[in-house]
Structure 1
């Protein structure tokens, strides 16, 4: 039997251990580990969750990669058309990791009511449009259904519905200007069939979703002309690589723009969360380790006579150190256990009950999003345990300076 582990187990199970002078300090050390894990779990889960949600919302309106004519780059309005007859449409057969390609076109116009008006972009989509993202955003009504015939159905944001006092089923007119000022502006009538809320106000106040055929007719395009293609990929982490791969197979007149370039300020802001999370993890682990070092030193001081007896009986310095390191590992494990129980419990409550709201004008979401992954939970726990144990090797060296004669006489 591992006698160091046996002695450590007896120490932990003894009543004197729980009622000793070191008991409050030990509890503080355990609490420090638990609080550290709670804070780290919350910071990682909410940081990754916020990044993921913001990316999903931007991608919902633009795709991961936008393929368009060079003259249309970074513009919300399609001015120079692209033919839909491309080798890569409807599927990129030569590139793996691309889940969907859809054809869209956009046109700026004014929504006109009896009392107000609002400038928005009509995003025209067809029957190939992927509605998965907007299914999550839908708050009232239904999603439009576009087929072979032109439809007047549109999906508008809750932000615009509140400003213009629209409800599901309401009809409204939209005025579209002409580049040739001598031409009379065109007026189209639409019906609200659904109201969505992505929580990303910059996008919600800009876009309404309608039939692609309206944009084609307004721009005097043929049925095979569209504004641009939106390309969706399987893994956001491969965005740069897939953008290059897409660009390499495009005709010379087309360009591929990744969504992070179109909304550079948003994605740069999102990256800041990584630095914040790393900083919090470093500080929490350091604080927890320092508290455990203090607890270990107090334990050593309290058990000085036992250390002297073990040495007098022939135990090596390393064997005695292992007794206290086993003891410390139990305390760290106890702190990790309660930290995970409380931390994951709080995260699950936020995930399912939305207890903590956020200002969408600042954070682009209405509540603190949570992303829980087994990978980072295990990595965080293992990393915290190893760092604390490595740091405890230094204070345990104090045991080597204790001589048996003085230790046995120590009071």
Structure 2
């Protein structure tokens, strides 16, 4: 067995049984590491969970990549493009693309009783991906778009339903201002809640045939295509491939196509989410600093308490680095103990929040109604490995005090 490891293990066991003044210092050091790691695990799980929730809501309303007419100029009153089955098929040839769905938008004003609200009707066809709506539907049923006949049923948000005093099955009128005022009546079939007011109060999901009829479009004309991909981490790469495929693409009217990722469509939201990463790094740095200084204090007290042992080892011919390794091993044992308790506390609190959601939030301020948790194994492992490495490295400098201990004076002092 490694001699330094053997002695360090003996000292560690002696510390756990010791009633001397190093005992409280060691316990404080372990508690500091445990608390620091627990806070880091919780912070990373909450911030990544919050980013994931917000990102999924934005993508749910706008997909990962959008292809539209270059002349739209960010308006919801869109210039159409023609559906080209061969073009859609070519998009599926790009690795990572999961779904391509057509859509159309139309601004209008809905009225129910005395309530009036400006909205955007967003129409979908039979290729509509219901996953996001199914996850957020709180009452009613999803509307099956593109079923063969024009469907007067729509899906609206809970926020819009409250603003307009609408319930399931209620009928409301929608007015459109073109060359002349046109009106349509719809029925509420489904109500969803995403807690994202910018979109909840804006969109009404309808059958695309209504918008085509209102705009006098042909059956093969749409506002554009929305692309859903498998992995958000590959968004930029897939976005570039889609851009290259659409950059020189024109429809039969000579209109060019424009492809943009969800980051380009909503730079303010994703810029804000990126700023949250800075908060995480600050928390990690603070927690590691506090844990490291607690550990340094504990190791220094251990060294001072074992001065006579250090002097004896030096008198027997042990080198400074060999003795320093003993205390570094001992510090590693204490760090591992602190990390173990930190994992237990951090992971249990995250799991409790994930399953029981005992910490609520104001959805009007935070866009979610409870603290979100995104607990990943590799996050926990990375935090453990990083904490272990950083704290052990910071132990090297205080262990230098061992080289200043004189064997004759230390043993005389004893």
Assess, with a 3 A threshold, how the Cα gap between structure 1 residues 84 and 18 changes in structure 2: closer, same or farther.
farther
Distance 1:406 1:134 in 2: 77
C-alpha contact 2:16 2:23 (8 A) present in aligned 1: no
Structure 1 residue 361: deviation in Å?
2.9
Matched, 1:219 2:230: no
Q: What's the offset of the Cα at 1:277?
A: 0.7
Query: How many angstroms apart in 2 are the aligned matches of 1:257 and 1:347?
Result: 36
| TM-score, L = length of structure 1 | 0.95
Displacement of 1:17 in angstroms is: 4.5
Aligned equivalent of 1:115 = 114
Asked if the contact 2:155–2:191 (Cα under 8 Å) also holds between the matched residues in 1, the reply is yes
Deviates more, 1:305-314 or 1:195-204: 305-314
Secondary structure in 2 aligned to 1:66? strand
Instruction: Give the distance between the partners of 2:282 and 2:243, measured in 1 at CA.
Output: 37
Gap regions ≥5 residues in structure 2: 251-255
Deviation at 1:39, TM superposition (A): 1.4
Point out where structure 1 has 5 or more consecutive residues left out of the alignment.
none
Please list the CA deviations of residues 57-112 of structure 1 after superposition, one character each: whole Å capped at 9, or x if unmatched.
1111111111000122433x142111112533256143111111000001111111
Mapped to 1, the partners of 2:383 and 2:41 lie a distance apart of 8
Which residue of 270, 273, 283 maps to 1:270? 273
Q: Distance in 2 between matches of 1:55 and 1:306?
A: 58
Structure 2 match to 1:131: 130
User: What CA distance in whole angstroms lies between the structure 2 residues aligned with 1:132 and 1:94?
Assistant: 22
Aligned partners of 2:25, 2:74: CA distance in 1, in Å? 59
Q: Distance in 1 between matches of 2:328 and 2:228?
A: 51
Residues 374-410 of structure 1 deviation map (CA, whole Å, 9 limit, x = unaligned): 1121111101101111110111111111121111122
Change in Cα spacing, 1:138 to 1:269, as seen in structure 2 (3 Å) is same
For 1:311, the equivalent position in structure 2 comes to: 314
Provide the secondary structure at the position in 1 that maps to 2:88: coil
Instruction: Quote how far apart the aligned CAs of 1:15 are.
Output: 6.7
After TM superposition, give the deviation of residue 342 of structure 1 in Å.
Answer: 0.5
* Aligned mates of 1:228, 1:256 — CA distance in 2: 10
TM-score (norm: length of structure 2): 0.95
Tell me the alpha carbon deviations over residues 351-391 of structure 1, each in whole angstroms, 9 at most, x when there is no partner. Answer: 11122222333322222211111112111110110111111
- Describe the superposition over 1:17-47 as per-residue Cα deviations: whole angstroms up to 9, x where unpaired: 4322011111111111111111111111111
SS at match of 2:84: coil
Give the Cα separation in 2 of the matches to 1:78 and 1:192.
23
SS in 1 for 2:87: coil
Q: Which of the residues 397, 400, 405 maps onto 2:400? A: 397
Task: Count the aligned residue pairs.
Answer: 406
Structure 1 residues 232 and 267, CA, compared in 2 at 3 Å: closer, same or farther?
same
Q: 2 CA distance for matches of 1:262 and 1:60?
A: 13
In 2, are the aligned partners of 1:201 and 1:360 still within 8 Å (CA)?
A: no
Q: How big is each residue's C-alpha offset from its partner over 1:146-165, in whole Å with a ceiling of 9 and x where there is no partner? A: 21111111111000111122
Q: Is the 8 A contact 1:73 1:257 kept in 2?
A: no
What root-mean-square deviation, in Å, do the aligned CA atoms of Structure 1 and Structure 2 show?
1.5
